[in-house]
Amino acid sequence: MVPTTIGKWLALTLVAGALQVLATAPVAAQGTVRRHLIYFRDKAGTPFTVGKPEQFLSARSLARRSRQGIAILPRDLPVSPTYVSQVRGVAGSPQVLYTSRWFNAAVVSCDSVTLGRIKALPAVRSAATLNRSFQPVAPTPPPGQIAANAANNPPTKRAQYGLAYRQNEQIGALAMHEAGYRGEGMQIAVFDAGFPGVDQIAALQPLYKEKRLASTRNFVDGGTSVYQRSSHGTSCLSTIAGNQAGFYIGSAPKATFHLCITEDVNSEHPIEEANWLAAAEYADSAGVDIISSSLGYTTFDAPSKSYTYADMNGRTAISSRAATMAARVGILVVNAAGNEGDDPWHYVSAPADADSIVSVGAVDSLGNHANFSSYGPTADGRIKPTLSAMGRASAVLAPNGAAFRGNGTSYACPILAGMVAGFWQANPTLTAQQVITVLRSTASQAAAPDNVLGYGIPNFVKAYNAQHTSAPLDANGQLPGDGDALTLFPNPTGDGPLMLFLPAPLRGQPLLVRVVDARGALVAEQQLAAVSGRRTQLQLGRLAKGVYICEVSAGTTRRSVKFVQL
């Protein structure tokens, strides 16, 4: 599909007022036409109210807020239609491309003379120029497809995941999938520079067959065509959504996705941050749970003013302010930390500097910091990155369906975003901020976070078990008692309660529990009534430090497990 031009922006129709994108006919400009962010003074005259949010937010968006105890506030109200009409009525026929509820602003395309007239309107507070040029790109030709060699009944889990095995294993995603959490019911918005080949790649076809591609939006060219422009988004999406057993499996292969083009790789100007803002508000309106953004902003093309490190405080950059607002409405934002670690810039970029989001650094397969991965802290002294995942030699898919290895926090970000989706799926009562807290507190450097890897590499099993202390998963994602083995938790144990997890042959009948020490001497014995469930609590009394064998029998059925008393 041919990309639309500036004058052909289409209206987004998800929810009335959720994200207003207005179209006008092209007109001859007196000077160079640029895009500008027009800030309004207030929202006077808006027909919308916080008492009727269903008029501008979807039911799923409202449910996400409700689960997390987040109120509808005036910031959520759409921009006043009266103010938009006033801008459109200015001589010079400016085009209102879209509006921002959170910033109470509009992105307007016009020449400098017309901009002066807009700034003179009583409703306008200020204006900022967002770009100096716009270059629509030619359609991306369909990529030649490479047939994936999917194995028939592959013998090992490694073969199931193909090249993506290690990047999933490192963060516990293999165990997460084994435990039954593959992102079902979770919605992820991917912000990037293009998605050519996504509709053709064999490993991504389940998105279409299972109707899990919820929407597409192109905030650069307008409209909904996203299978074009840069293949960067294709590769990033594949790390989460890939789902072809025996060839390639991503970190959340059963999640639902929204694909948004916000980045124009032909130039670098603040308009792309405004696109990020618009996409975030769209994601909010749609009820998205997680944003995965492998984008970052530091230096712009002249004459746009570049950021300095002092601006990386989470409160200056447009994209950082937008990411913070997304976090405030209950979206969990996952953003690449940046690839400037060995460049003069060195530090994280925007919006990775935003507060209350997960900024992702890159490590190799052994967990070592990748030299290109950007460092913290933020300019105001906060630890960044937040967490780290595999971004060196990550396995990704090309538009033709071939798997290859690439480098960048761009890949670490979506790999981790998929695990975040599975963890939140497993713990649906947590808020977005609580999810971040649990992942941080159980990551590899939780006890000593730094500005290289942040809190370290998270692991699904460790995070899950921190929330489910009475029914923890083993390293393979199995609940105790799922197989034929007897299990004790915790092991090693201390002074707290000791949980006994029973395999199926020991359930539903009276049990005899005997504990012997390393010499074989009986130190404790307990009779248990029939247990129909998987677990029961033992009352063994205080044991001396040492190694013990717990033997449980029911008739002729007997199982034993070794444990350590600390």
As given in the structure block, the two tokens for residue 524 are 């404790």
Phi, psi of 224 (to 5 degrees): -120, 5
Catalytic position from the list 410, 444, 474, 482: 410
Whole-number Cα distances in Å, 368 to 160, 312, 378, 452, 512: 25, 25, 22, 10, 49
- Tell me if residue 232 is catalytic: yes
Cα angle, residue 321 at apex, residues 315 and 325 outer, rounded to 5°:
125
Amino acid code (one letter) for 249: I
Backbone Cα Rg of the chain: 27
Catalytic position from the list 36, 61, 76, 192: 192
C-alpha closest to that of 423 among 454, 468, 460: 460
- Tell me if residue 199 is catalytic: no
Q: Which residue has the tokens 């085009």?
A: 95
Give the integer Cα–Cα distance in Å for 104 and 457: 38
Say if residue 471 is exposed, middle or buried (CB neighbours under 10 Å; 0-12, 13-18, 19+): middle
Give the integer Cα–Cα distance in Å for 347 and 479: 41
Phi, psi of 553 (to 5 degrees): -135, 150
Contacts of residue 171, Cβ cutoff 8 Å, sequence gap at least 6: 251, 389, 390, 415, 416, 419, 457, 458, 459, 460
As given in the structure block, the two tokens for residue 212 are 């899990």
Catalytic position from the list 177, 232, 258, 269: 232
Q: How many residues does the chain have?
A: 566
- DSSP letter string, 313-346: TTTSSHHHHHHHHHHHTT-EEEEE--S-TTSSS-
Amino acid code (one letter) for 8: K
Say how many C-beta atoms besides its own lie within 10 A of residue 1's C-beta. Answer: 13
- Tell me if residue 495 is catalytic: no
As given in the structure block, the two tokens for residue 485 are 């083995």
Please give the positions annotated as active site. Answer: 192, 232, 410
